[in-house]
Amino acid sequence: MRLKAKINKHKLIFNEPALTSRGAYTEKDSWFIVLTDGQSTGIGECPLLKGLSADDSPGFEEKLLNICRQINEGEFSLESISRSFPAIGFGLESALIELKNNNEHILFPSEFTQGKAGIVTNGLIWMGKEEYLRKQIGEKIDSGFTCLKLKIGSIGWETERSIISEIRKQFPANELTIRVDANGAFSPETAPKILNELAELNVHSIEQPIKAGQWQALASLCASTPIPIALDEELIGIAEKIEKQKLLEIIHPKYIILKPSLLGGFSASEEWITIAEKLNIGWWATSALESNVGLNAIAQWTFTKQNTLPQGLGTGLLFVNNIPSPLTMVGEKLYYDTSKKWGKIKGL
């Protein structure tokens, strides 16, 4: 039977503004795409991150409706959609995988989905006033996290450096891994000094020290940096395999950060992994403010890759109105608690 597709919009509301160097998020839109074949159903999330998603442009919902029409008519290409509209490709691929498995919210069966194994994650520290940063850091360490990721570039580097220095005095590098994410906050001129100071504090790595699109400047930083550089925003909007290869060969970072909902889904992310591993470039996966539906898909896929580094996966606790799910944090590990049920998605 031909597939039938429909969508449902869901506006996620943050508990409190989520600050980055690009500004503050107080709400964000996601669309759930639902596929049926008469017997099975698959649901995927198409999350739009303003100012970051490659398909963040006027008329996004109309594009999504048009793709639903293509699906209903039996004429669509997942690969083409993923390259042109990464957020839609991520949701569509997720829905297709769930539909094929004929098992609600189970896309990649494993010990994770059986509740037998968890995924080690980093504790994310959001930007904010100094006291808010210190509060988050204390809570994460008390919860048992051995890897923290601090967003930097918002309240002033001197203050941020002081906070990292305090953490390091209490917890040496063999006890606590510290990652930082600049979201492109620094310039090619100021970045070298900051990288040196981060190295003195035994910081594990820095994500996207300068704004995306400055390949030669970033290549120079990667060639001389005293700490590993990871690419994040730099990957967004790069859809063709030859361009992915070119980017990694020119810049040659130590790591890349994979956000499937911003890169076009799992097949697109695996293409990045294949190219990176041939160049001896490491990686880890990160969620990107999806609801629990999208996070669930990313977590299940990530577990199957058996990457031993801490992953950047949240639990959706940022939102007032997330979809209740079995995803649960136990210490620093994310689990799929099979004793918990999924909540209903309004309108579906």
Give rounded-to-5 percent helix, strand, coil for the chain: 35, 25, 40
- Ranges for all domains in the chain classified under CATH 3.20.20.120: 119-336
pLDDT at 140: 95
> For residue range 243-266, what is the model confidence (pLDDT) as tens digits?
999 999 999 999 999 999 999 999
- Return the CATH number of 4-101, one of 1.10.3720.10, 3.40.50.1370, 3.40.50.2000, 3.30.390.10: 3.30.390.10
- Ranges for all domains in the chain classified under CATH 3.30.390.10: 4-101
| CATH class entry, domain 119-336 | alpha beta
Residue stretches of the chain with pLDDT short of 70? 1, 20-23, 315-316, 347-348
pLDDT at 347: 62
Residues 202, 173: contact at Cβ < 8 Å?
yes
188 vs 125: CA distance, rounded Å: 25
Please identify which of the residues 149, 151, 211, 244 carries the catalytic annotation: 151
Number of residues assigned to the chain = 348
CB contact set of 302 (below 8 Å; sequence gap of 6+): 119, 285, 311, 313
CA atoms within 13 A on the CB side of 185: 22
Please identify which of the residues 149, 244, 254, 259 carries the catalytic annotation: 259
Residues 67, 34: contact at Cβ < 8 Å?
no
Write the DSSP symbol of residue 345: P
pLDDT at 25: 80
> Nearest to residue 20, comparing CAs of 181, 195, 204, 225?
181
259 catalytic? Reply is yes
Q: Calculate the alpha carbon distances from 260 to 11, 21, 88, 267, 315 in Å.
A: 20, 22, 11, 9, 16
> For residue range 26-61, what is the model confidence (pLDDT) as tens digits?
898 999 999 999 899 999 999 988 878 888 888 899
**E strand residue ranges, 220-332:** 229-231, 255-258, 282-285, 327-330
141 vs 15: CA distance, rounded Å: 21
> Nearest to residue 300, comparing CAs of 107, 121, 120, 93?
107
pTM for this prediction = 0.96
pLDDT at 266: 98
151 catalytic? Reply is yes
